[in-house]
Amino acid sequence: MMAQIYGSSLFLSGGIRSNISKFLLHALSSILIFAYLRAAGLKYLLAIPPALLPLGGALLSARNTIQLVSGKEAEEKVVEALSRLDDRFRVIRNYRYPGGDIDVLVIGPSGVFVLEVKRVRGKVKSTMEGVVYGGKNFYEQLMGGVDYISRKLPEYARRHVKWAVVVDGGKIERKIGGKPVLRWWDVPRFVSRGRFLSEEDIEEVMEVLGI
């Protein structure tokens, strides 16, 4: 038996769908501006610069879409790896809570695990202050989800709610006392250590979290 998977991959929803819509809107605006100026009698070369203005927004939306799709691909690697666990484990994609979402949430005999998944290219530094990449601290984003789960599950929070940043690509530099950061293929082992929750506990956690 394989782990129970909840939620869809969401490749064409949320931020991705929004950025695709913005890209199409900016591109269409550029075409319409050019067509209008030409119809108004403006020469070809003079009509081009104003028509190019919306393309900056189109390029930004295209870049954001590529980044989001890349991140979703990394999440799918994590989910695929976790799917090989036994059916006592529940794996939830994109768990939404007020104010944010958790990339991958795992609930099983070994506890409740909040995972922030990132696709990276350069060096990721794990320090006492967080997990830093290119000036961004992934730990801050992760802790929003951890705090929410801990508030919802106060009786489990101290011992059984755990977390980690999971990266695909790049290089990890770990400092003594650094926050937990994993490769995606190490996640199944991370979430399957120990047996602390019964099946009744797991079902209760699922109910409290509305899954």
> Per-residue pLDDT for the chain (211 aa), expressed as one digit of tens each?
788 999 866 444 455 566 566 667 766 777 877 777 778 777 777 777 777 777 666 566 555 554 545 446 788 889 999 999 999 999 999 999 998 999 999 999 999 999 999 988 889 999 999 999 988 999 998 999 999 999 999 988 888 999 999 999 889 999 888 999 999 999 999 999 988 999 999 999 999 999 9
Contact indicator for 90, 4 with CB cutoff of 8 Å = yes
DSSP 126: E
CB-side neighbour CA atoms (13 Å) of 168:
19
